[in-house]
Structure 1
């Protein structure tokens, strides 16, 4: 039991190294997330436009769904950036 604290010392270093690695890769990942979000937003806009022109009654729910997804894709990378800063 006396050796357990000695083995636990390496965990803090591993977590620090992992956080450093995530910081290094985060900017390209954030750019990719925003590009994917833009593509999904464009496709969602086309779907909403198609439903709207066809007179579908479900347009408001579709707009809210894609709007919420776009807000999520914009806000989450900023929170993760603040977390690892």
Structure 2
């Protein structure tokens, strides 16, 4: 594709292709330079990430229990006020608590922590 800028004609697609080729070459060189100790880095990252799973699942259980208490209070106040949508609110709060507990259990069993 040729574009004309005043008196100058530039082949834009060739310049763009050269630019992308240069960028790809630089990225590949940087990957090669950083991948010299890649296996050790991946193993270290694996160990660090796995060490956070126990704390993360315990945090999810704690969030589920706090949401359960807040939901129980919210449902109780709606029930005492005589609102018609009490069952919908109870189902949504109960569902969110169950979801958090199930996700924490699946994470724990999936990663064998």
TM-score, normalised relative to structure 2: 0.60
Describe the shift of the 1:57–1:10 C-alpha distance in structure 2 as closer, same or farther (beyond 3 A): farther
Q: Which has the higher strand share?
A: 2
CA distance in structure 2 between the aligned counterparts of 1:52 and 1:74, rounded to whole angstroms: 25
CA distance in structure 2 between the aligned counterparts of 1:67 and 1:10, rounded to whole angstroms: 48
Question: Rg bigger for which structure?
Answer: 2
Q: Does 1:45 align with 2:75?
A: no
Runs of 4+ in 1 over 4 A off after TM superposition: 7-16
Q: CA RMSD in A?
A: 2.4
Question: Which residue does 2:60 correspond to in 1?
Answer: 33
The number of equivalent residue pairs is 85
Q: Which runs of 5+ in 2 are unaligned?
A: 1-28
TM-score, normalised relative to structure 1: 0.76
**1:68-79 equivalence runs, <5 A:** 68-79=95-106
Q: Which has the higher helix share?
A: 1
Q: Which runs of 5+ in 1 are unaligned?
A: none
Of stretches 32-41 and 71-80 in structure 1, the one that deviates more from structure 2 is 32-41
